[in-house]
Structure 1
């Protein structure tokens, strides 16, 4: 204790317990800051970050928990703060807001930095809003609704099998898989399995898969320490690439 504090204790203005509690609180703040700095340094050491990226990480780490939360709230309000915003969609995003812990891992720090840059992009905000509003409304894409769950499940299995065998979407080995799927979709949808139909399929699946929106959710999972939920992120890109490659060929 400093002499002024000791004098206040002797004058019965403060108790030793109160002083100890205040010192403990102060140490908690210092410990959290040191933990954050340690995590940032580990990220820099692992990634060989540029001076600009290191500066950004340092700036973000100085934000308090409340300020970090406000950054995400601003993103949500800026993305959905309009008259026709779907309350369900807004609730979904708020419920999944990232919350960096006081002692984050280097992976969580890196995810938070990337996420902070992402939510500041206006184009991403527009894409995020379209995706979440559609999902919250439970509105499936036309191709998924019209094709039916049986064909969609078959598609997921075929693509998963191809990926497991190491078949690249742009390789010749993907052609039989894509040809089979195109003909199955064309039959169910009463369409002609020509180049135009392949292009339409690719566009439909591109609407379902926005890499940056998928990346946003993954970053949130990492920051919050949640288990990554199995999803179709690995299915759609392969299918789109294979369709585009086949169409170009």
Structure 2
């Protein structure tokens, strides 16, 4: 059953990413990385919690309305001017700084927070061939409000499936940088 479930799970994830990327100029490498990162191996003898996580993820990737929202968002972001390598490099560097700031107890509204937020706005705007202005900040905020809670839950479910009990840091980092951006401009 686990082998069948694993095959079914991977196929559902692949269909989901094919659907949400269908109208975007998404690189095949990025799509493959997202599929691989979103498809953990199911344990041979899953716990009830892991079965529930699997079921909830299957509901996520079967939600046609959510897929349509993501498809629209991705097609506007992956418009040919977006540089995914530059975006990945910028986010890796910025989120390392965010993690350091969090670990040091820096508040998002601190001068450190504002500096990191300005750097994130500049580097992410550059990767998207946009201007790091109020309109871009508002776009960032809108994307965060629309997708963060669902994304955070998905990562939580993936951790459950993997049997990983470590706390999620990426959700905390996204929350911190978004709070910092509120005072960045």
TM beyond 0.5: yes
The answer to whether the 8 A contact 2:57-2:157 is kept is yes
Greater Rg by CA? 1
Pairwise CA distance, 1:234: 0.9
CA RMSD of aligned residues (A): 4.8
Pairwise CA distance, 1:106: 2.1
Q: Residue deviations 1:154-210, cap 9 Å, x none?
A: 4442233337xxx7xxxxxx65x2x453367669x7xxxxxxx78865754765794
- Map 1:1-249 to 2 at 5 A: 64-65=4-5, 66-81=7-22, 84-96=25-37, 97-125=39-67, 126-127=69-70, 130=74, 137-140=84-87, 144=90, 149=93, 153-162=96-105, 175=109, 177=110, 179-182=111-114, 201=137, 203-204=139-140, 207=143, 210-211=147-148, 212-225=150-163, 231-241=169-179, 243-244=181-182
The answer to whether the 8 A contact 1:156-1:235 is kept is yes
Q: Residue deviations 1:11-34, cap 9 Å, x none?
A: xxxxxxxxxxxxxxxxxx7xx8xx
Q: Residue deviations 1:201-231, cap 9 Å, x none?
A: 5754765794223432442343244676975
- Which TM-score applies when normalising by structure 2? 0.56
Runs of 4+ in structure 1 deviating by more than 6 angstroms, as ranges, are 131-136
Consecutive unaligned residues in structure 1, runs of 5 or more = 1-28, 33-62, 168-173, 190-196
The answer to whether the 8 A contact 1:198-1:243 is kept is no
Q: Residue deviations 1:39-65, cap 9 Å, x none?
A: xxxxxxxxxxxxxxxxxxxxxxxx942
> In the comparison of the two structures, how many residue pairs are matched?
163
- Which TM-score applies when normalising by structure 1? 0.45
- Is the deviation greater in 113-122 or in 235-244? 235-244
CA distance in 1, matches of 2:96, 2:18: 36
CA distance in 2, matches of 1:133, 1:98: 26
Consecutive unaligned residues in structure 2, runs of 5 or more = 123-132
CA distance in 2, matches of 1:199, 1:161: 31
CA distance in 2, matches of 1:153, 1:94: 24
